[in-house]
Amino acid sequence: MAAEKMNGSDAAHHQHRPLHLPYLSVILAVAVLVATVNGGEFSDSSAIISRFQQYLRINTAHPEPNYHKAADFIVSVANSLSLESQILEFVKGKPLVLLKWPGRDSSLPSVLLNSHTDVVPAEHEKWAHAPFDAHLDPSSGHIYARGSQDMKCVGLQYLEAIRKLQNSGFRPLRTVYLSFVPDEEIGGFDGAKKFADSEVFKKMNVGVVLDEGLASPTENYRLFYAERCPWWLVIKATGAPGHGAKLYDNTAMENLLKSIESVRRFRAAQFDLVKAGLKAEGEVISVNMVFLKAGTPSPSGFVMNLQPSEAQAGFDIRVPPNMDAVSLERRIAEEWAPASRNMTFELGQFKHKVSVFDKFGKPILTSSDSSNPWWVLLEEAIRNANGKLGKPEIFPASTDARYFRELGLPAIGFSPMSNTPILLHDHNEFLNKDEYLKGIDIYESIIKGYASYVEHLKDGASRDEL
């Protein structure tokens, strides 16, 4: 009552006084001070955004990623949170930063939050804002940068979420690790693969891994439980060379074009399933022609009146984990590159190095139902933080998650970006600052849920059996 009275009389008192400029500045200064002390919302979020911009400004694009600068930055943020940190260099010049937030019970399997530090190159001149300026558009709130979606956002959101949890007094029961790995964009062989196969990793006793997902143009976040396997196919045709004016059969170009037509029919049929809503993007085989190589070079371009004796085409093919790989390989040999049409083919390194089958021939998937408590916890945590979810999906491309799934670990792909166009690897990649901040709250809820999770021992089961 006393306070009300005081405010009332104070307000009345002010009505009769003109507002002079020096007086106004004092009021403003007090207002800012109150806002800063009172929860510090304003200053917190601008510091958070500025840290994100700092990370985005480090050019870690292939082929010459500045990995050491990124590692130093991550370690400096980790130090501000008193996290344990170490730099692992499985391959010289490719540092992997491993951070640890020790849990109260070190015997429990730990939680691993993975992100990659590298980004794909950008065609600078085709961007509205330079890709390593991390420009924040004041009217839209979009932050433009290569890596803003893929996936520097996620790496730093993990850390910001930990900062918030620490400020709230939360202490994890399970140990939380964070890995910042190199080389995901070029296959992860010198990064996540070597890490997953290492003694260091074994000792971490990881129980679940979170890795990258994709932006969602709708309000629903996307969760990924598996991924397609890349098959990088090159088909080669040979044929009789001859005059450019002559019509004859069995030219290299004609042989190659017949194959391309056949591939196109297959592609269209797969795409139709997606367009009709019968299958999700990750559930069909995608085939995209990525290069064509043929012709006889001349100083002015190509010799025009000569039909070449060789022609090649390259395809990026992605195979879902539950597909019949044998029949696809047969289709390639019999329809797309038949020896009867003077054709040969090569399946690139990934088909052999990246498997979607375990050693028993079963597809490598993470359960996305109630049999997997980590899945259930993740969904709960996202919903608790007011996030909406779509149906579990197969990631259409490849991520480092496959190396952890290959070990038999549950690994879930998730990047908290709703109402955001999918711009990974595209020009003008951006993430809105409010979406970034919302993602931190989502991770705060997830990390809290994961790091506090106590599994309920089944009757007669030992902890090892779960």
Ligand X SMILES: CSCC[C@H](NC(C)=O)C(=O)O
Active site residues: 118, 184
For 16-40, where are the alpha helices, taking DSSP H only?
21-37
187 binds ligand X (CB under 6 A): yes
In what helix (H) or strand (E) does residue 318 lie, and over which residues does it extend? strand 310-319
Please identify, using beta-carbon distances, which residue of 98 and 424 lies nearer to ligand X: 424
Among 113, 151, 411, 440, contact with Zn ion (rule: CB under 5 A): 151
95 binds ligand X (CB under 6 A): no
117 binds ligand X (CB under 6 A): no
Q: How many residues bind Zn ion (CB under 5 A)?
A: 3
Output the known binding site for Zn(2+).
116, 150, 185, 212, 425
Among 211, 175, 136, smallest CA distance to 437 is for 136
Q: Write down the least CB distance from residue 397 to ligand X, Å.
A: 3
Please identify, using beta-carbon distances, which residue of 150 and 444 lies nearer to ligand X: 150
Site for ligand X in 311-370 (CB under 6 A): 350
Question: DSSP secondary-structure letter at 137?
Answer: -
Q: Which one of ligand X, Zn ion, none interacts with residue 151, CB within 5 to 8 A by kind?
A: Zn ion
Q: Write down the least CB distance from residue 396 to ligand X, Å.
A: 8
3-state class (DSSP) for residue 317: strand
Are residues 103 and 451 in contact, defined by beta-carbon separation less than 8 angstroms? yes
Please identify, using beta-carbon distances, which residue of 150 and 435 lies nearer to Zn ion: 150
Distances (CA, A) of 385 to 156, 421, 449: 18, 22, 11
Please identify, using beta-carbon distances, which residue of 230 and 239 lies nearer to ligand X: 230
398 binds ligand X (CB under 6 A): yes
Q: Write down the least CB distance from residue 222 to Zn ion, Å.
A: 14
Q: Which one of Zn ion, ligand X, none interacts with residue 207, CB within 5 to 8 A by kind?
A: none
Q: Which residues of 211-237 are buried (b: 16+ CB within 10 A; e: fewer)?
A: bbbbbbeeeebbbbbbbbbbbbbbbbb
Are residues 197 and 133 in contact, defined by beta-carbon separation less than 8 angstroms? no
Q: ∠169-73-422 over CA atoms, to 5°?
A: 85
Q: Write down the least CB distance from residue 211 to ligand X, Å.
A: 10
- β-strand 135-136 against 142-144: which pairing, if any? antiparallel
Q: Which one of Zn ion, ligand X, none interacts with residue 350, CB within 5 to 8 A by kind?
A: ligand X
Give all strands of the β-sheet with 310-319 in edge-to-edge order: 286-294, 310-319, 229-238, 343-347
Please identify, using beta-carbon distances, which residue of 232 and 266 lies nearer to Zn ion: 232
Q: Which one of ligand X, Zn ion, none interacts with residue 397, CB within 5 to 8 A by kind?
A: ligand X
Question: Judged by CB under 5 A, which stretch of 62-70, 132-140, 207-215, 230-238 contacts Zn ion?
Answer: 207-215
Are residues 222 and 214 in contact, defined by beta-carbon separation less than 8 angstroms? yes
Q: Write down the least CB distance from residue 402 to ligand X, Å.
A: 9
For 67-71, which contacts have Cβ atoms below 8 Å and span 24 or more sequence positions? 67/93, 67/94, 67/95, 67/117, 67/118, 67/182, 68/95, 70/117, 70/180, 71/95, 71/97, 71/117, 71/180
Q: Which one of Zn ion, ligand X, none interacts with residue 238, CB within 5 to 8 A by kind?
A: none
Question: Judged by CB under 6 A, which stretch of 33-41, 109-117, 396-404, 443-451 contacts ligand X?
Answer: 396-404
211 binds Zn ion (CB under 5 A): no
Output the known binding site.
116, 150, 185, 212, 425
Distances (CA, A) of 39 to 34, 161, 379, 414, 442: 9, 16, 28, 29, 19
Q: Write down the least CB distance from residue 205 to ligand X, Å.
A: 27
Please identify, using beta-carbon distances, which residue of 74 and 214 lies nearer to ligand X: 214
Measured torsion, CA atoms of residues 142, 53, 180, 431, in degrees rounded to the nearest 10: 0
149 binds ligand X (CB under 6 A): no
Residue 226 backbone zone (phi > 0: left; psi -120 to 50: alpha; other: beta): beta
Identity at 178, one-letter amino acid code? L
Q: Write down the least CB distance from residue 263 to ligand X, Å.
A: 19
Among 51, 85, 148, 150, contact with Zn ion (rule: CB under 5 A): 150
181 binds Zn ion (CB under 5 A): no
Question: Judged by CB under 6 A, which stretch of 6-14, 44-52, 200-208, 395-403 contacts ligand X?
Answer: 395-403
- Token pair 């190589």 is found at 293
Rg (CA), the chain: 27
Please identify, using beta-carbon distances, which residue of 165 and 192 lies nearer to ligand X: 192
Entry field: residues in the chain = 466
Q: Residue 317 and residue 356: Cα distance in Å, rounded? A: 14
Q: Which residue is nearest to ligand X (CB)?
A: 397
Among 147, 172, 230, 416, contact with ligand X (rule: CB under 6 A): 230
Q: What does the binding site for ligand X look like in residue numbers (CB under 6 A)?
A: 185, 187, 230, 350, 397-399
Q: What does the binding site for Zn ion look like in residue numbers (CB under 5 A)?
A: 150-151, 212
